[in-house]
Every structure is written in structure tokens, then in C-alpha cells.
A and B are shown apart, each in its own frame.
Chain A
Amino acid sequence: MTDILHPRPNPIIAAMYTLRDLDADIILMHGPAGCGFMAARRLEEAGVRVMTTGMQESDLIFGAEEKLVRILKGIDDRFRPGLIGVVGTCASMIIGENLDGAVKKAGVKATVLPIDVHGCSGANTTGAIRVLEVAAERGVISHDERDRQKMLLDRATLIERDRGLTSVTYLEPHPGTTKLSAAQLIVRTLREGGKVAVTLNAKKETAYGFADIMRAVEHARSKVGGEACYIGNLDPNIGLPRIRRYASDILRDLNVANVTVGTITGGLDEYPVSGDKAAEALDSCHADLRIVAGLPHTVPRLTSDDVLVTDQPRQLRNYIDKGFGRAIGEISTHADVMAAHAVLRSELGETIRQVADGGWA
């Protein structure tokens, strides 16, 4: 088995994000303060309250069930939440804390999902799957929805292992090639009467950042000519309510920008499978230049001439190492997507607009 050395999300973090997808009001981390801290800050931007039982040394020794019961009762009284996720951590799970037992003892009004995961439970998707299983058991989602998402997560794990972040031992972060080079290539292709295809195959909320590339390309096309075709996993009728809302928001804003997404490849949580349809649609487009945004490695049959846009510096290194030199990073946009309700202005999008508008010249 290959050792993967670079830091990456673990099942605890995946569980937290999946609870966000379920519109949990509160995520209570049962563990030491600081566990999942960075993820917690992002999730709070998305409107989820993240809390911790703040386990101490004596909790580690004697167990912290009483504390968990007390805190659960306290937050139920104070915040009146509808749905709480209690997420395990390495500390609480290694000492064998009984989350389910504590939830039963607390007997709160809210629906509570006890998620016994820890950092060493396996691939990060293990945490997401655990949440789905518990949510289905407690009637928060249907068994069909659980099975659909499990299939997607298993596929995502395989893709990452095959050609993503867990396909190599170590990936050093890379900033990507310059946005100016990409923008000039895109605008030149359009100006020369060429056809540019923009494919979005993005994961959930990240689409709020990447969809702007479609708007910018359409803006450039309106200024300099050429043709464009747009493909995206933006089906507003697939997935959990929150995920559907993302797709509706994005389609609304694209419509305002005169972007017609000719091929809808699936829902925003279907990126592990919608890549196949995206590849077919791309082939049908017969474009002179292809842009693939979101998680480009989930789209098969990419070529080294394609412009790949993603938001993770290590994924950019992965693409460049695999021979895709036109890899562009939307790093700063990524920080803003959690709180988004509308398509964001992206760095590449702004650069395309500026080049199409003649820049400073």
C-alpha cells in the first residue's frame, strides 16, 4: 500500500460537510477544542453552528459521557435546533465513547445524529457515508437517497485513488499557470472565430466560483465574436434540498448573463459520475478550445491542450505533473463559496473580461 504523505481531509471533516448538506443546525464535535477547527470556520460561514465538548485530560481518562449529555441538553434548550449532528473525533472514539447512548440519555427534542467516526476510519468519504447511514436510519433522508449518495462517494474515492489527490505519494502545492495566459488564449480563439467549450464538473458549493467562467466567456464572445458551448452538472432537481438550491441559484445567474447551458450532465453532487456525460458532450461540441472547471480529473479523455481550472493547489500540482500544463488555480475564490447564494466573480473570469475589453491598452 502506498503511503500518502500530504495533508488532506479525513472522515471527521467529510462527516461535518455532509451534515451541512443535510441542513443540520448544529454540529457538536465530541472531542478536544480545535479538532476540525478550520473546517468549522468554513461551515459557520455556511450558516451551521459548530460546537465542541472541549474534552480535557480527565475526560480522556474517565470518559466524557456526562459532559456530552449535559452539553446536548444545554444547546437544545438554548438554540432550539431541528437537527444536530454529534461527530466523534480521534480522542473520543479511541477511548470508546458511546455517542448513541449519550444521545438517548440526553433525550432532547431535536433530531440528533450520532456519528461515530474518527480520523483513522479510512478514506474521508467513510465519514460522509456514516452520516448518510445514520440519517437514513433516523428518517432524515430516504434509503434510496442514501444508496445514491453512497454510490457517488465510492466512485469519488476510486477516482481520487486513480488520478486525484491520493494517486501519488506526495503533492507539493502549486499556484497553477497564469490566468492572463489562459484568458488571452480564450479571447484569441473566440476573436479568430473559433469555438470555446466550457464544462463545469464541480463539487457542490464550489460551483458558485467556477460558474463565473461561463459568464466571462459569454461576455468575451459578445465582445469579440466566436462560438461557445456550455456544459454543466447543474440539474436543479437532483440531490438534497441544499444542493438543488445551489444549482438553481447558479442557473438563475447564468440566465441573467445570457449563458445557456446546452447540456446538463447531472446534479451538483454527481460530479463523480457526471464527468462521463461531460466528456461525451465535450466531444459533440467539436470545440477549438476546451475549458474544464471544478474537478477536471473526474472528466475522462482530457488532452494536454485543455484548460483545466480547479481550486486546490495540490490538485494543480497533480495536473501539471500528469502533463496538463494549462492548469489554472481559483484559490482565493474557494474561500468565499461557503457563504454564497449567487455566482461569485472568479479570478479567471475577471481576467477574461479584462482581456476581452481590451485590458489597459
Chain B
Amino acid sequence: MRQLAIYGKGGIGKSTISANLAASFGEAGLRTWYIGCDPKSDGSMTLVQGRKIPTFLEQMKRGDERTVLEGFAGVKCVETGGPLAGVGCAGRGIIVAVQELAKHHFREEDDVLIYDVPGDVVCGGFAAPVRERYANEVYIVTSGEYLALYAANNIARGMANLNVTIGGIICNSRNVANEVESVREFAERISSKLIGTIPRSRVVQECENQGRTVIECAPTDSQADAYRRLGRAILDNRDLVVPSPMGPEDIREMLREMQ
């Protein structure tokens, strides 16, 4: 079983990539799980026709039977859920939910688990999927912009502290100058590699507006092929390394050199 965790700066496109990866694995016949770890519980929407699914933690709180919804191409979709903004502890929620999933729901015969983890690793709970080794292969999503790379580097530092291996860096293009080269250079400087690039395309938004992934909504579009290529690269990838993060100033210097 491949156990992947997708991290990256807030708003960088983790959920879109995670859902499209899950859809591409599903259509390839792999038994796939999508586990959204954001308390907003919106990452799985494009896998289930734009609906919001009942969250694990809400069900646990009410004592209800936990339901796992099957979405596009049989992808099993779970949202951990969590507290409303400003109360409780979302990090603790992630810990509890992933423990429960690992204990009672995943099966040996499952092929791929994808944890879509929100934002930066702001507290111990957000690191739980990897710290507890529920995921052992981290992919960090970034663009070529400084703040996205800064966040990616910060995540790499967290992974290094936890002695967790990363599989590579995913470039989600924002069409900035020398973007792919910059992200590739960053990946190499932290001892990792660029595993794939997703071009910027308005098809993504059009499909999201219909509550579906690109794989489902525009299967013949070149954007769908980009997600499929990324998925194959991840499945073929065997290079897992504990990253060696850069100094924050070194990122700026690198970007200046790349201009």
C-alpha cells in the first residue's frame, strides 16, 4: 500500500491536486482513499459531485456509525473534519481521526492512501499523519513564488525534524518567470527532486465549478493528462529522502540567481 501525504502552503492547490491524483488512480483501477484533513472539509467535494460529506469527527462526536463515501471511480472519500474556526483543536482532531482510520478502516488490499493536509505544519496534530507513520511518502506542492517556496521549505524542515522522508516537490504553476527551473533548483537544494509539474489551466476552475475533478469532467483535456503523468511519476517513484531544508535567505538568493 502506498501511503502519500500532500503538504504545501495554504491555497497553493493541494486539494485540487490530491483529488485529481485520487481520481487518476481510481480510473486506473487502483483501490484508492482520499483523506481530507482540513476542518473546512471541502477537499473531497470534486470527488463526490460537489457535495459536502459527513465528517469523521462529527460522526464520532455524535456516536454515529462512521460512513465512508465512494466517489468518482470508486475512490473512498473521508473528511476528518474538526472544530469551527476559533474553537477547539483541529490538530488533535486530525490525530484522533487518522488513528481511527488506520485502526478500523484501511485494509491491506488497498493500493493508495492520499492524505490532503491543510496549510503549513502549524502544530503537532498537522504532522500526525507522517509522525505516526500513517503516511510515509510526502509530496510538497509549491509554485515558483517566494512565499510558496518559503512555506515548502518550512514544511521540509518539519519533515527533517521528524525524520520523515519526502518523495518530491510538485510544481503547481502560477506562470511566474523561470518557474519550473526555480522549483527544480529548490527541490535539488533540499536534497529532493521535482516529481512533476501541473500547468495553469482554466479547465481546473471550470471543472471545480461543476463539482468535479478534471479527470472526471474533462478526461481528454491535456490538463487531465498532466495529473495522470504526475500520478504515474509518483507510483514509479522509489526515491525517498529526509530533506535538508535551506536557510530562508538562501531561497531569496536562489530566486535572484534564477531571474
Say whether A associates with B.
Answer: yes
* C-alpha spacing A63/B84, complex, angstroms: 9
Contacts of B92 in A (CB 8 A): 57, 60-61, 95
**Contact between chains at A95 and B96 (CB < 8 Å):** no
CB nearest neighbor in A for B125: A61
Tell me the complex Cα distance, A97–B83, Å: 12
Q: Which residues of the other chain, A, contact B86 by a CB distance below 8 angstroms?
A: 96
In the assembled complex, how far is the CB of residue B55 from the closest CB belonging to chain A, in whole angstroms?
11
Question: Count of A-B contacts with CB under 8 A?
Answer: 40
- Inter-subunit contact B83/A62 (CB<8 Å): yes
**Chain B residues with Cβ under 8 A from A61's Cβ?**
57, 61, 82-83, 88-90, 92-93, 96
0/1 string, B195-239, CB within 8 A of A gives 1: 000000000000000000000000000000000000000000000
Chain A min CB distance to B247 (Å):
28
Q: How far is the CB of A356 from chain B (nearest CB, A)?
A: 62
Q: Report Cα–Cα, A60/B86, bound state, in Å.
A: 13
Q: Interface digits, B77-101 against A, CB 8 Å rule (1 contact, 0 not)?
A: 0000011101111101100100000
CA distance A60 to B96 in the complex (A): 10
Binding site for B on A (CB under 8 A): 57-63, 65, 94-97
Identify 11 new A-B residue pairs, CB closer than 8 A, beyond the known A58-B57, A62-B57.
Answer: A58-B60, A60-B89, A60-B92, A61-B83, A61-B88, A61-B89, A62-B82, A62-B84, A62-B87, A94-B89, A97-B87
25 contacts between A and B (CB under 8 A): A57-B92, A58-B57, A59-B88, A60-B89, A60-B92, A61-B82, A61-B83, A61-B88, A61-B89, A61-B93, A61-B96, A62-B82, A62-B83, A62-B87, A62-B88, A62-B93, A63-B83, A63-B84, A63-B87, A63-B88, A65-B87, A94-B89, A95-B88, A95-B89, A96-B87
Q: How far is the CA of A57 from the CA of B92 in the complex (A)?
A: 9
**Chain B interface: which size bin?**
10 to 19
Interface centre among B84, B89, B93, B96 (most CB of A within 10 A): B89
Q: In the complex, what residue of chain B is closest to A57 when comparing beta carbons?
A: B96
Which residues of chain B are within 8 angstroms of A65 by Cβ–Cβ distance?
A: 87
Residues of A within 8 A of B60 (CB): 58
| Chain B, range 155-170, C-beta contacts under 8 Å to A | none
Instruction: Write out the residue numbers on chain A whose beta carbons fall within 8 Å of the beta carbon of B88.
Output: 59-63, 95
- Which chain B residues numbered 120 to 168 have a C-beta less than 8 Å away from chain A? none
> Which B residues touch A58, using CB under 8 A?
57, 60-61
User: Which among A58, A63, A94 has the highest number of chain B CB atoms within 10 Å?
Assistant: A58
Bound-state Cα–Cα, A59 to B89, Å: 9
Distance (whole angstroms) from the CB of A161 to the closest CB of chain B: 31
Q: Give the distance to chain A from B61, nearest Cβ to Cβ, in Å.
A: 4
Cα A240 to Cα B152 in complex, Å, equals 57
Which residues of A are found within 8 Å of B90, using beta-carbon distances? Answer: 61
Interface centre among A94, A95, A97 (most CB of B within 10 A): A95
Taking the nearest CB of chain B, how far is it from the CB of A93, in angstroms?
A: 11
For B87, what are the chain A residues with a Cβ–Cβ distance below 8 Å? Answer: 62-63, 65, 95-97
List the 3 shortest-distance A-B pairs measured between CB atoms, nearest first: A63-B87, A63-B88, A61-B93
**Chain A proximity of B47: nearest CB distance (Å):** 24
* Distance A94 CA – B60 CA, assembled complex (angstroms): 22
By a CB distance below 8 angstroms, the chain A residues around B61 are 58, 61-62
Q: How far is the CA of A95 from the CA of B92 in the complex (A)?
A: 9
Most buried by B among A57, A62, A95: A62
Residues from chain A with a CB closer than 8 A to the CB of B84 are 62-63
Which residues of the other chain, B, contact A94 by a CB distance below 8 angstroms? 89
Among A63, A65, A94, A97, residue most surrounded by chain B Cβ atoms (within 10 Å): A63
Q: With the chains together, A94 CA to B57 CA distance in Å?
A: 20
